[in-house]
Amino acid sequence: MSSVIELCTRARAVKDTVGSLGTPEKNRALNAIADALLAHKEDIKAANALDIAAGRENGLNEGLIDRLTLDDARIEGVADGCRQVASLPDPVGEVTGMKVTPNGLKIGVKRVPMGVIGIIYEARPNVTVDAAALCFKAGSACVLRGGKEAFRSNQCLMTIMRDALESCGIPADVLNLVQDTSRDSATELMRANGLIDVLIPRGGAGLIRSVVMNATVPVIETGTGNCHIYVDSSADFDMALDILYNAKTQRVSVCNAAESLLVHRDIAQKFLPLAKAKLDTKNVRLHGCEETCAILGADILPATEEDYGKEYLDYEMSVKVVGSVDEAIAHINKYNTGHSEAIVTHDYFAAQKFLDRVDAAAVYVNASTRFTDGGEFGFGAEIGISTQKLHARGPMGLKELTTSKYIIYGEGQIR
């Protein structure tokens, strides 16, 4: 029996145990995990330092190193995320939509655990804790398969969490980490039919595409983020510059960072030099259309079709001048990844058209795309941002990690 299948089998053996835990028991365990993470902060940082050193040695870019890094603040953040999940309402057992049919049957819908959730992700060790906490509160066992870049960090975090569960009298096999980070282990998880109830990929475009194309178990597709900021002709320049700067540069390695800037032709001559000056403070490289290059000069790289569709995850951005909100919407819907899109405008009708017609999980008016996040939306930690349209869309919290079943009360009715 392979290690992946063995882990899935062990997780399946305890799924009913975690599924039947009461809310107080789950919350006590989540708080115990948070306490344990803080108590072992130095162990986590030591393991993480080895991963960072190996990453730099293997040529990881600074955006990925940033995703990989666990410092005091981030460890405190993931611990706080566990406490936030503990404080959230428990979706398991919620009954909605109870109705009485003409023959007297009472039919309702009850929210229930998925069972065993598999998650494949890359160089973000915080996902190990976020995913474990959310799956656990949602009443499911989980099998996590992280990337090789964060293996030591993930292993340390998982050991701490499993020990914390056992200290609360809960089987450690509720939380599992695949030790093999080869492509073979990912493939085994994708094809663990009968053992994995749903598989969630979280990472770059290549990983997500591989899972969607190769998995034989059900998949919830989380997305890469080619997010756009469209600055309309009526935009307040100061607001637009602040939103652009925040969305692009606050943290370049995340999926809700802006990768593309669109500017209305009526303001391009005035706005683009201001935008370049602002982005120059972070050395952002711009790839522009012909009009952008004509306005900003030789420093701008000519944009290609690839640039318009690219998730850079770095200090780079594509720029295009457009003639209308309709042209902006058409460009976004052609090149975006269905994640997060923003318009900066004081025109009510342009804003409403943008909200109605842009095809994305989150659409903003006069705000940064950086808010597409489970914590910012009040969900606590998140499992990822779903860019598909079935089951879940947008930040996925507890509710999206459960399924439902019909419950029917009768008094002897027959058909």
Q: What is the pLDDT of residue 380?
A: 63
pLDDT tier, 36 (very low <50, low <70, confident <90, very high otherwise): very high
Q: What is the pLDDT of residue 376?
A: 83
Residue 245: name the closest of 229, 265, 269, 225 by CA.
Answer: 229
Q: Is it the case that residue 1 has pLDDT exceeding 50?
A: no
Could you give the residue ranges of the DSSP H alpha helices within 215-264?
237-249
Q: What is the pLDDT of residue 150?
A: 94
Looking at every residue in the chain, the average pLDDT score rounds to 92
β strands within 193-344, DSSP E: 198-202, 227-231, 258-264, 285-288, 301-302, 316-322, 340-344
More confident residue, 112 or 224: 112
Q: Is it the case that residue 238 has pLDDT exceeding 90?
A: yes
pLDDT tier, 392 (very low <50, low <70, confident <90, very high otherwise): confident
For residue 407, report the phi and psi dihedrals to the nearest 5 degrees: -120, 135
- Summarised one tens digit per residue, pLDDT across range 66-115 is 889 999 999 999 999 899 999 999 999 999 889 999 999 999 999 999 99
